[in-house]
Amino acid sequence: MPRFVLFAAALLAATAAAAQAPPPPEPEQEQVVATVMVPVVGKVYGAGSVQWRTDVDLINNLNRAVTVALSLPTAPNQPTIVFPLPPGASQRFTDVIAAFSMDRALSPLMVETIGSKQPVRVMATVYAVKPDGSGTSTPEPIAVAYSDPYHPLRALYGLSFSDSFRTNVGLANLGENEASFTVVLQRISGRNLAVTQITVPPSTLWHTSIQALFPLITKGDDFTILVETGTRETYVYASVIENATNEAHFIEPAIALTDRNPTPSQ
């Protein structure tokens, strides 16, 4: 058989094989996820042997079915719950930590609406359960972050530590590297009473009392804490609790005024 005939036959066979071959797979597109962050949820014991718990409500107001994922990014093994939420439906988690089959934990709660640019509605409340189980404090709403709350200088206003009130402060680092925080206590704008430096490891919530932060400061009311950090994926909050009743007030951070100096006073 002439050489050009063999060449034509081979070319025809290659063309036919290419036509029958399946098309190359399209590159995978990154899945759209809308994320909402509850700065802290927990099931822990506090002063007076009360147990603090958090309830979470999710409402699908998107007019379509979605998949929702809940996770505790600073808890051991970062547990996750995934479930469908039909349009118009709501899902209530009474004692949300128990929903993860955990007896005790304290962590931010990440709520992801998968396959949607818009999140489901999220509400969270915290309350104290009396030691004998006879009642609870008034549920206090926790401010939920629907967008990135990062700012290099954030302020927590209206803090107290006295015979009547106590204050807890939380610093969360959800990044992959450690985060350094400069924490400043003020009562008068621009005048620092005390300054401390704190390094929080990755995927860690650092939660403590204001007295532990500033042990040399005497009791008082209407304090401000300034928190400065250059690390994103960080969250800041405080809670002021009445000692006699365990009624709590959640303090969400504000962008600090520019005249409030985070560096030590000279």
- Residue 11's pLDDT is what? 44
153-255: CATH architecture:
Sandwich (2.60)
Tokens, residue 125: 């409340």
CATH of 33-141, one of 2.60.40, 2.20.25, 1.10.3470, 2.60.290: 2.60.290
d(C-alpha 209, C-alpha 166), whole Å? 8
- Give 5's pLDDT tier (boundaries 50, 70, 90): very low
d(C-alpha 252, C-alpha 124), whole Å? 13
- Read off the pLDDT of residues 82-139 as tens digits, 9 standing for 90 and up: 999 999 999 999 999 999 999 999 999 999 999 999 999 999 999 999 998 888 999 9
Element (H, E) at 128: strand 121-129
- Read off the pLDDT of residues 161-207 as tens digits, 9 standing for 90 and up: 999 999 999 999 999 999 999 999 999 988 999 999 999 999 999 99
Q: Of residues 205 and 20, which shows the higher confidence score?
A: 205
- What share of the chain has pLDDT > 90, as a percent? 79
Tell me the β-bridge partners of 59. Answer: 90, 121
- Residue 104's pLDDT is what? 96
Q: Of residues 19 and 22, which shows the higher confidence score?
A: 22
Mean pLDDT of 135-144: 96
- Residue 48's pLDDT is what? 87
Indicate the pTM of the whole model: 0.85
CATH 2.60.290.11 domain extents, the chain: 153-255
3-state secondary structure of 75: coil
Tokens, residue 186: 């003020």
